[in-house]
Structure 1
Amino acid sequence: MKAFSSNVIFDFNRSGKPLAFVSLLLISLSVNAKIWLPSILSDHMVLQQNSNVTLWGWTTQTAETISISTSWSDSVYTTKAYQGKWALSIPTPEAGGPFNISIKGHETITLKDILIGEVWFCSGQSNMEWSPLKGLDNAENEIKAADYPKIRFFSVRKKKAEYKQDDAEGLWELCTPETMKDFSSVAYFFGRELNTKLDIPIGLINSSWGGTPVEVWMEKQTVASNSDLKKAAQQIKDYVWWPNDPGVTYNSMVYPFLNFTIAGTIWYQGESNRDIADSYYKSFPLLIETWRDAWKKDFPFYFVQIAPFKYGDSKTNREAAFVRDAQLNTLKTVSNTGMAVTNDIGDLTNIHPTNKQDVGKRLALWALAKTYGVKGIDYSGPLYSDYEIYGNKILVSFDHVEKLMTKQRHISCFEIAGEDKVFYPAKAKIKGNKVQVWAKEVPNPVAVRFGFTNEALPSLFDESGLPASAFRTDNW
């Protein structure tokens, strides 16, 4: 007699000894049978409230039936694995918890201490990655006070990959002084502001890598199919400390989370694109568009306008200014975006300014006002709107302000130019919510720039103290 198992043929003799061998083989297969989940689905996680969230995973039983039940509902949801992979969408209630989730197949997995709230994906380069231990104002007291059990952290391990990955290494943790000190400061202060103002659980996924240009966070094909971006990517300087090839962190640090429902994204990046700033006018909006397409959701995207810094390798002292201008242009042309301006809290000697409290808070102001509908919040500083020429003067108008103010004796960082495109330092005078600009060297002005150098430290604010963004009226 012959038996078939795992494509192996066994001959049985009358003593029955091979039968014992087959039994051991079947027992071994049973012991090795397994259901497993991506790292983002684990104890202590936060799921997006009032949503249909996806739970997914794998099984060694290729066509197994998987059932899911939750402690917030009496419903049971089922699906069948296809070639060992399964996914299931389940509804979530309003913010609350803790809850449990049970996932059953040939074995049972129970996820515990699950909160329902708001989940934000936090990404970019080093200023997003920077933790309190690496440099933060009042770090000792901030770390001691970081006891927020309804804020949860997930730190994505740095990894690059040539191909899209199904999973990424990471672990959900409660916000404690011990976990906060190694987590993104900007993400923490953003999350803390939402948690305290909205009184709901907050999940923060930190997927960032210092030094990385925007192209590594985009799908490789997106860059390759655009001739301008492809050419710009070839000019990116090569460093051993961080990846520079298009797509390699998207594959390993973004793609694995596309099934995970998020409320939105916060982003702090741009310094590494200053040498190819012209392309940032295309690449940054395209990053937002392609991420939204990949997540299948038009989520809010709030970002930080990079801070002033004295770059030692600068040739024109304007490279970073064009990155800031590209960021301002993105704010004005891409819907559902917001920009935190930082030109008043930069540090010309430190590319990682240690005032991350205000950065996180300013991002949160956008979220509170625009995503969560909190009334009475001044969420944006003055943004350039328009200009008019009056003889030898230009009058500049702003949005998001009723009355401008300065913290200096004289308003600085304005420049003015004529048809020759040569800019001269200008004098400026506040007139309500407008600024009058002029320079004796330019009798017939045609263009104005404000804060348009790498290291400009302007002083122009609205009544609440939020700074005006750098801008230019020209397209030279």
Structure 2
Amino acid sequence: MNRSRLFFSIMLLISSSCFANVHLSNIFQPNMVLQRDKDCAIWGYAAIGEKVAVHFDNQVYGTVAGLDGKWKVSLARHAAGGPYQISIVGNNTITLDNILFGDVWVCGGQSNMQFSVDESMPKEKDSLRNNLPQIRIFTAYVSTDYVPRDTLNGGEWKVASVSTIQRFSAVAYYFGRALYEKTNVPIGLISDNLGATAVETWMSPDAIKAFSQFDDYHQQYLAPKKSFATLTSDFEKNKASWQKAYYLKGDPGLDKKWYLPETDISDWKTIETPGYWEEKEIGEYDGSVWFRRTFDLPASYDHKGYYVGIGQVDDYNTTWVNGHQVGETFGNVNYSNYVVPDSLLKEKGNVIVIRVFDAGGKGGIYSQFWHPEWAGKWNYKLGKKIDPAKFKRPDIVNSDLFNSPSILFNGCIAPITQLSIKGAIWYQGESNASRAEEYRTLFPAFITDWRKQFNQGEFPFFFVQLANYYGEDKKPEESDWAELRESQAAALSLPNTGMASAIDLGEAFDIHPKNKLDVGKRLALAALKVSYNADSIDLGPTYDHMSKEGDNIIIHFKATKSLIKTNDKYGYVRGFSIAGADSVFHYANAYSRNNEVVVYSRDVKSPVAVRYAWANNPGTLDLTNQEGLPALPFRTDSWPMKTHDRKFDF
């Protein structure tokens, strides 16, 4: 046997031993919902060449595991109903009980989608209303990677009940419950989201590649197509030699053990964190800087290890507490979070020392958003200065869970793109508000990308327009959030989309408004109209065009069967501003007239533009349709926006 054939045989044996029994991708579990009226793929892993048979509804679907140990079958489309049993037979047998066929919805976004039922208002305690065996819920565990993963990190299908829904996405649950109550079709809800995340984290590498602002990031992290596991393994193999030759070489702080508590710091200076040291007294400097401060344990400390959340450090750091190394992090967007063993701690006067190493560009402890208790004054001393042109940077995992493009798509969405679904709902945008105009292209590209990756045509996609947030402005101002709402609404040009406005559901000083019931119901209205052909109103009054009458501007709305109304008994309407040719907006008077709104201001003669609800928080609004859905924010002008020159910056 020649070497190549021997190697191939060994690899076959190794691969076969990894999958001695048949396994399912972990989205397939008892209690799940499979998509009705579509062919449904079921897939998993087994020994190479192992025969796999899937038994369902008096039929057998057979296949053989390939050279990669993967197998897949496709169940014939099935009407809504159940419960059913599915058996997967190979060297072992897996049985899936209590399976329903119905409509499966992927529920994505950031924290307002993640926000749970037990956090929302009103509280759901009624078992008669919420024990719903025809609704099944699944929360996907968070996972990230530079390459698409095959399986989710975890999750469990549960039957909806007053107890199981409490920690589930409130928007998703209320959406699903409203659909079920109207259609009587089983509903499967996959909550697959994470707070504080930007839309680009949920886009595939192919989608990211289409935008030039991601070129450098894509080239460095996505184009090599190396997984986190591969990068980490390669780095660990070469770590010791790299440290000796570059990272640890010639540092007086290491030679003199500045990490020890007894170190004389009389000549150390002080600096405030967070921030880049180039913008502070240190100035332009590459190499190591040593930081030090003391801390006491809080009265609430439980003696199970003390959490130290340093934040994000550019580029690398090693951290000691009371002279003992407690952690190290490589990568300027990775989070440096360490748990200090109780045995290393004392009640008062603990000494923490951090060796921060900048390999070029900016350096420092630059972000402490999640743990501001570690911000403030630190002592510091310069260590070893380097020439960044001569410093070798290793290839490492360097990812921000909330902002690094594609990593959440790869870990959380890619594993389920073979799953047949009805559609998706989405609540996100807050993290992209500072780049609102960029979102106008990213968001529709994101929707198109998911449709491409799932390969199920232009499936329904419904999203929430951002709620009102922050305090009210005393005069009309430019607004990131208003611009983001406009960018969201622009995606309605895509087929099979719908939008639920939350402009009247927010809370001024809480980015997580507790009324998720109406958000879910409004998404369901959109779905009922677009996906179920129901006689449903899915949007509030929507701007169509304007006309002029002297110093008044008349706002005309798109024709629907539901006329506009105002909640003010005199017919007045709040939320409008008006501007002349100078582009300076003033709050305006407005009143409804024959399904139109007349807008004017004594401060503006010959007006040319009107804006409605154009603010982070426009305050109390009166304008709705007959069903009470709010009029959508809009502007009649096309003047440059506040965020027009802001894009992703790597």
| Shared fold (TM-score, shorter chain, > 0.5) | yes
Alignment of 1:367-406 (within 5 A): 367-375=527-535, 377-399=536-558, 400=560, 402-406=562-566
| Contact map agreement 1:238 1:244 (CA 8 A) in 2 | no
TM-score normalised by the chain length of structure 2: 0.65
Amino acid in the other structure paired with 2:43: W
| Contact map agreement 1:214 1:270 (CA 8 A) in 2 | yes
Alignment of 1:82-97 (within 5 A): 82-83=66-67, 84-97=69-82
Q: What is the rounded CA distance, in whole Å, between the counterparts of 1:275 and 1:41 in structure 2?
A: 39
Q: Paired residue for 1:161? A: 145
Matched, 1:306 2:466: yes
| Contact map agreement 1:430 1:436 (CA 8 A) in 2 | yes
Matched, 1:63 2:49: yes
SS in structure 1 at match of 2:450: helix
Give 1:59 deviation, angstroms: 0.4
| Contact map agreement 2:114 2:195 (CA 8 A) in 1 | yes
SS in structure 2 at match of 1:366: helix
Alignment of 1:47-446 (within 5 A): 47-60=34-47, 62-70=48-56, 73-83=57-67, 84-133=69-118, 135-141=119-125, 145-168=129-152, 169-228=154-213, 242-297=401-456, 298-310=458-470, 318-331=479-492, 333-375=493-535, 377-399=536-558, 400=560, 402-408=562-568, 410-446=572-608
Choose 50-59 or 85-94, whichever is displaced more: 85-94
Q: What is the rounded CA distance, in whole Å, between the counterparts of 1:93 and 1:453 in structure 2?
A: 48
Choose 135-144 or 149-158, whichever is displaced more: 135-144
Amino acid in the other structure paired with 1:251: N
SS in structure 2 at match of 1:141: coil
Q: Deviations over 1:360-411 (max 9, x none)?
A: 0000011112101123x22221111111122222111112354211223531
Give 1:291 deviation, angstroms: 0.3
Structure possessing the higher relative contact order (Cα contacts under 8 Å, 6 or more residues apart): 2
Q: What is the rounded CA distance, in whole Å, between the counterparts of 1:55 and 1:170 in structure 2?
A: 17
Q: Name segments (4+ residues, structure 1) moved above 3 Å.
A: 29-32, 142-145, 228-233, 236-242
Q: Paired residue for 2:617? A: 455
Change (3 A) 1:412 1:309: same
Q: What is the rounded CA distance, in whole Å, between the counterparts of 1:270 and 1:232 in structure 2?
A: 21
Q: Paired residue for 2:30? A: 43
Q: What is the rounded CA distance, in whole Å, between the counterparts of 2:117 and 2:479 in structure 1?
A: 30
Q: What is the rounded CA distance, in whole Å, between the counterparts of 1:161 and 1:238 in structure 2?
A: 22
Q: What is the rounded CA distance, in whole Å, between the counterparts of 2:109 and 2:479 in structure 1?
A: 22
Q: What is the rounded CA distance, in whole Å, between the counterparts of 1:120 and 1:106 in structure 2?
A: 33
Question: Over the residues paired in the alignment, what is the CA RMSD in angstroms?
Answer: 2.6
Q: Which has the larger radius of gyration?
A: 2
In structure 2, list runs of 5 or more residues that go unmatched. 1-5, 219-332, 334-365, 371-400, 640-650
SS in structure 1 at match of 2:434: helix
Q: What is the rounded CA distance, in whole Å, between the counterparts of 2:431 and 2:603 in structure 1?
A: 35
Give 1:30 deviation, angstroms: 8.5
Change (3 A) 1:334 1:311: farther
Change (3 A) 1:125 1:230: farther
| Contact map agreement 2:22 2:52 (CA 8 A) in 1 | no
Choose 29-38 or 282-291, whichever is displaced more: 29-38
Q: What is the rounded CA distance, in whole Å, between the counterparts of 1:228 and 1:257 in structure 2?
A: 28
Which residue, 621, 630, 634 being the options, matches 1:467?
630
Change (3 A) 1:468 1:31: closer
Give 1:162 deviation, angstroms: 2.0
Identity value in percent: 38
In structure 1, list runs of 5 or more residues that go unmatched. 1-5, 10-25
Q: Paired residue for 2:253? A: none
Amino acid in the other structure paired with 2:100: L
| Contact map agreement 1:219 1:247 (CA 8 A) in 2 | yes
SS in structure 2 at match of 1:39: coil
Q: Deviations over 1:44-97 (max 9, x none)?
A: 11000011010000102x122222121xx3222222221111111111321100
Equivalences, count:
443
TM-score normalised by the chain length of structure 1: 0.87
Change (3 A) 1:435 1:311: closer
| Contact map agreement 2:440 2:487 (CA 8 A) in 1 | yes
